[in-house]
Amino acid sequence: MEGKVIKLKVCGIRSIEEIEELKSLDIDYFGCIFAKSPRQVSVELAREITEIAHKAGKKTVGVFVNESVENILEIVAKTGIDCVQLHGSETPEYCLELSKKFDKMNSDRKINIWKVFLVNDEFPNIEDYLGYIEYPLFDAKGENRGGNGITFDWNILKDLKGQKFILAGGLSKENIANALEYSPTILDVNSRVEVEDRKNKGLVEEIINLIGGDIFE
């Protein structure tokens, strides 16, 4: 992994206490879930989380499932989130429309789009999306849209041929070393770093130590 830079996202932040506890760690992105989920947050709470993250030099990601373009634009404007993660059945045309709307926003920051592809044992068709998104995100197909705590067969990622991507789904201290072998751009952790329905600083620190602090930007 020498010379590679792996970024870390902790998704499903649902309280001020969590972001305050984690903000000083080597985490690049914090995820706020707006879709229906046990980790769903309000626009007001997401704005507070984002303010704290930004003061600590970190970014926030809003997670949406089949949300209207208009609602996403409104939430981005109200919260100040930096990235939009689309976790539903959004089409390439939808991503194009959203990208154009972001470009027209009166903002001094670029809002990036991440598109989630739920994977079982076959590599998904991502080609039609690549012109409109920053990264594809590969997560395990499970009972829920995300946060299932399960992995998929990472061997299918060998077909990516240099494409930058985000890896999610069941990432924990037990399998991080294996995940790094596939050279993800960003690792996205969630349910496996929780204890009693909240993010656990110790578990997140173990992930960071396994990745190696010297490869963070």
Assess if residue 34 is contained within a domain: yes
Backbone torsions φ then ψ of 3, nearest 5 degrees: 85, -10
101 domain residue, yes or no: yes
Exposure b/e, 65-80, CB count within 10 A at least 16 = b: bebeeeebbebbeebb
DSSP 40: B
Q: What is the pLDDT of residue 151?
A: 87
d(CA 10, CA 24): 13
Summarised one tens digit per residue, pLDDT across range 153-201 is 899 888 787 899 999 998 999 999 999 999 999 999 998 999 999 999 9
Ranges of H-type helices in the chain: 16-22, 43-55, 69-79, 92-104, 176-180, 201-211
pLDDT at 46 over 50: yes
Chain centroid, CA 84 distance in Å? 9
pLDDT digit string, tens, across residues 53-78:
999 999 999 999 999 999 999 999 99
At 150 the pLDDT is: 75
With CA atoms as reference, report the closest residue to 167 among 181, 192, 183, 187: 187
Domain holding 69, by residue range, is: 7-210
pLDDT at 36: 93
Residue 16 tokens read as: 């001020």
Residue 216 lies in a domain: no
Residue 1 — very low, low, confident or very high, per pLDDT cuts 50/70/90?
very low
pLDDT at residue 214, as a whole number: 41
Residue 28 is part of a domain; what is its CATH number? Answer: 3.20.20.70
pLDDT given for residue 149 in this prediction = 64
What's the rounded Cα separation, in Å, for the pair 204 and 5?
A: 18
Task: State pTM to two decimals.
Answer: 0.91
Q: How many domains does one find in the chain?
A: 1
- What is the mean pLDDT of the segment spanning 115-123? 88
Q: What is the pLDDT of residue 106?
A: 66
pLDDT of 202 strictly over 60:
yes
Largest CA distance in the chain: 44
- What is the pLDDT, as a whole number, of residue 5? 76
- Residue 180 and residue 191: Cα distance in Å, rounded? 19
Report if residue 51 sits inside a domain: yes
pLDDT of residue 41: 98
In the block, residue with structure tokens 């039609």: 128
Q: Is the pLDDT of residue 2 over 50?
A: no
Residue 124 CB-density burial (10 A; 0-12 exposed, 13-18 middle, 19+ buried): middle
Q: Does the residue 217 lie in any domain?
A: no
Q: Greater confidence, 213 or 164?
A: 164
Residue 16: inside a domain: yes
Q: Give the residue from 92, 32, 34 showing the smallest Cα distance to 67.
A: 34
* 2 found inside a domain: no
Average pLDDT, the chain: 90
Please tell me the predicted confidence (pLDDT) of residue 215. 39
Residue 15 Ramachandran class (φ > 0 left, ψ -120 to 50 alpha, else beta): beta
Retrieve residue 91's tokens: 């089409």
- Condensed to tens digits (0 to 9), the pLDDT of residues 124-163 reads 889 999 999 999 999 987 555 555 567 888 998 887 878 9
The confidence band for 4, taking pLDDT boundaries of 50, 70 and 90, is: very low
Asked if the model's pLDDT at residue 217 lies above 50, the reply is no
User: Per the domain annotation, does 1 fall within a domain?
Assistant: no
Q: Are 24 and 56 in contact (CB under 8 A)?
A: yes
Q: Say how far apart CA 205 and CA 25 lie, in whole Å.
A: 8
Distance of CA 143 to the CA centre of its chain: 19
Q: What is the mean pLDDT of residues 21-47?
A: 97
Which two structure tokens, joined as six digits, stand for 181?
């072998």
